Chains A and B, each alone.
Chain A
Amino acid sequence: MRLQQSKEQLLDAYRQMKTIREFEERLHREIMTGEIAGFTHLYSGQEAVAVGVCQHLDSEDLIVSTHRGHGHCIAKGCDVIDMMAEIYGRQTGLGKGKGGSMHIADFDKGMLGANGVVGAGGPLAVGAALSAKLDGRGRVGICFAGEGSINQGAVFEAMNMAKVINAPAVFAIEINGYSEHTGASYSVGGIDIANRTAGFGLKTVETDGCDYHAVYDAMAELLDHARAGNGPCAAVFRTTRFFGHFEGDPQKYRARDEVKQHRLERDCLKTFRARVVPVCGISETELDAIDADVLALIDAAVDRARAAPATPIEEMEADVYVSYQQDQP
């Protein structure tokens, strides 16, 4: 049985997913121009997970993300304009251009940061959950992870620690088929990830990560459990990645039509449209209007990032410490 969601909530979820999709598709094109430096890991294809999870959260709840973090940031409420500026390495970026695509964070929004180290978010998310537990207000700490991090010792430690201290932590594990360039069927020994998380005593649900409603419903159950103080949980979401590990990855490890097939059959936006129109009182026209809004927003984000000032050199040694008493001779 599907949980009831209001029309407004469904429209908002669609807007979030569409924003992530267009943000990433636009980045894919802009990166080819050479204007954006460094590594960028795109989230297209996985939008239903970020949004299905974050629709349950407010800014008091805390999330820790991965190097494929743009979707989590947008779903948690980070400003798209400021995010784009960060990816362009500009002064107006969320981290003044000092973090970059892999390190976007917005503490006011409860987004504790994407991460360049696979699996490092596990311990941090348990810490966020510990903070929530000590405050006793029913907040949670969410760890986004993938099949890459599920092979990292840090994540095993974190899941065990969460159970030992009974932290309101939820591990949202996105199985997109690959850890970097290596298939999960090769790299995940025993392949059954839900079995692993259950083995740590985490209440575990496995579902279709390309289906927003499935993600939303699964998280509702797990978050009730965690918020009530009943301990940590894990959700295993089967999803798909529309791009390579990073932009520029030739993806020779993927069958020629794999992505084409996924875009045709496993596109969470198409699935969402097909489900909500017209039975939820939502029309194609309303969704088309959101599409137009989103495209305009992404256009503006790119334009403003391009026009934004470079981060001044004086910033290079700023923000290392809150305070540091040392003269430079």
Chain B
Amino acid sequence: MTVMTYREALNQVLHTEMARAPDIFVCGEDISGGAGGTSGEREASGGIFGVTAGLLPRFGADRVIDTPISENTIVGMAAGASLAGKRGIAEIMFADFITLALDQMMNQAAKFRYMSGGKATCPLVIRVPYGAGMNMGAQHSQSMYNIVTSVPGLKTVIPTNAADAKGLLTTAIRDDDPVVFFEHKAMYGRKYEVPDGEYLIPFGQASLLCEGDDATIIAMGRMVLFAQKSVAVLKEEGIDCDLIDLRTTSPMDEDTILDSVEKTGRVIVVDECTPRCSLASDIAGFIASHGFSSLKAPVGQVTSPHAPVPFARELERAFVPNPVSIAAAVRKVVSYQ
């Protein structure tokens, strides 16, 4: 084990995989940064979150491509090259900007294999920093993974810690389908123990972070960190919870969800998305359809409100689910008669 940040874990995977497989390239805005600037400094930023640092000097500008601000073509170019024998890793600087690339994501990459009757493969990874909490305002703070999860043909990955980031990004790069990889912006600097050497986590396998018989908390991404805090508080009150970190929302580990629901009968889904057509509503619907007989209370949903992400600190803090609101939702479900 080595202690490293979420950012370092992702960066290490990009270095390791690009060294392993010469057919991998990365592209995106400012991913090395500095091309065409007056200082001549070519590796000026390594991506605005530093995830792609050091790739350009090591692998060269043919495989580490700083692009114009053209999201649709960043994804489309990576998809086209991935159809033609390469493995593209595209970075969209903020998840909010996938709207500019949705044609290439939803209408193109997601559908090549199906429309060709199974002949095409498009081993593409789209990395997207997401989430609220940094006062970046309504167009740089959204979660967006609910939209991607709904698309047949795309896989959706949301790692919660540096170890999972390593295991899941390695799997994503080696996967033969298009994968959208969500990295929460507030998690880049957090440190974790990370397994050394080659480490892969299969998609569709949730992680059961703690066990308890009173309630099931299902969460993904940064919400898992908040739920962990809630679980500790609730434990002191005598409420023991299963905490399920989904890790991938497409495919989704339905067995782990249903097994836990069968045991506890009381469920809370915590999701940073806004409530309509969210992961929370999707999973609540799934449990209602497939685990109804186990339920002892309505499925609780903790989401952001149906509003754009506000800028002001006080408002944004109140906008995102937090350990207090999660704990309150758990108490409500546990006390339901």
Q: Mark A290-329, 1 if CB is under 8 A from B, else 0.
A: 0000000000000000000000000000111111111101
Q: Are A326 and B252 in contact (CB under 8 A)?
A: yes
Interface size bucket, A side?
Answer: 35 or more
* Cross-chain contact of B118 among A157, A160, A318 (Cβ < 8 A): A318
Q: Are A120 and B107 in contact (CB under 8 A)?
A: yes
CB B234 to nearest CB in A, in angstroms, measures 28
User: B325 to chain A: which residues have CB within 8 Å?
Assistant: none
Measured CB to CB, the nearest residue on chain B to A102 is B115
CB A172 to nearest CB in B, in angstroms, measures 16
* Cross-chain contact of A93 among B68, B70, B79, B117 (Cβ < 8 A): B117
Q: Are A98 and B114 in contact (CB under 8 A)?
A: yes
Q: Is B200 an interface residue (CB 8 A)?
A: no
User: B12 to chain A: which residues have CB within 8 Å?
Assistant: none
Q: Are B202 and A127 in contact (CB under 8 A)?
A: no
CB B324 to nearest CB in A, in angstroms, measures 33
Q: Are A95 and B116 in contact (CB under 8 A)?
A: yes
Q: Are B67 and A161 in contact (CB under 8 A)?
A: yes
We find that the number of chain B residues with CB closer than 8 angstroms to chain A is 55
Q: Are B203 and A120 in contact (CB under 8 A)?
A: no
Q: Is A128 an interface residue (CB 8 A)?
A: yes
Q: Are B115 and A113 in contact (CB under 8 A)?
A: yes
Q: Are A112 and B80 in contact (CB under 8 A)?
A: yes
User: B107 to chain A: which residues have CB within 8 Å?
Assistant: 116-117, 120
Binds A, one of B81-89, B129-137, B264-272: B81-89
Interface centre among B62, B75, B80, B177 (most CB of A within 10 A): B80
CB A281 to nearest CB in B, in angstroms, measures 39
- Tell me the bound Cα distance from A60 to B81 in angstroms: 13
Q: Is B45 an interface residue (CB 8 A)?
A: no
User: B86 to chain A: which residues have CB within 8 Å?
Assistant: 130-131, 134
Q: Are B254 and A329 in contact (CB under 8 A)?
A: yes
Q: Is A146 an interface residue (CB 8 A)?
A: no
CB A100 to nearest CB in B, in angstroms, measures 8
Q: Is A214 an interface residue (CB 8 A)?
A: no
Q: Are B115 and A322 in contact (CB under 8 A)?
A: no
Q: Are B113 and A319 in contact (CB under 8 A)?
A: yes
CB A308 to nearest CB in B, in angstroms, measures 13
Within 8 A of A (CB), among B86-119: 86, 88, 103-104, 107-108, 111-119
With A113-B115, A131-B85 as contacts: A124 and B76 at CB distance below 8 Å:
yes
Query: What are 22 A-B interface contacts by the 8 Å CB criterion?
Result: A64-B80, A95-B115, A103-B115, A105-B119, A122-B76, A123-B75, A124-B83, A126-B77, A127-B81, A127-B82, A130-B25, A134-B62, A134-B63, A154-B73, A161-B77, A164-B68, A319-B114, A319-B117, A321-B155, A322-B175, A322-B176, A325-B204
Other A-B contacts than A62-B84, A329-B290, 7 sampled, CB-CB below 8 A, are: A98-B114, A99-B116, A127-B83, A130-B86, A157-B70, A161-B77, A326-B251
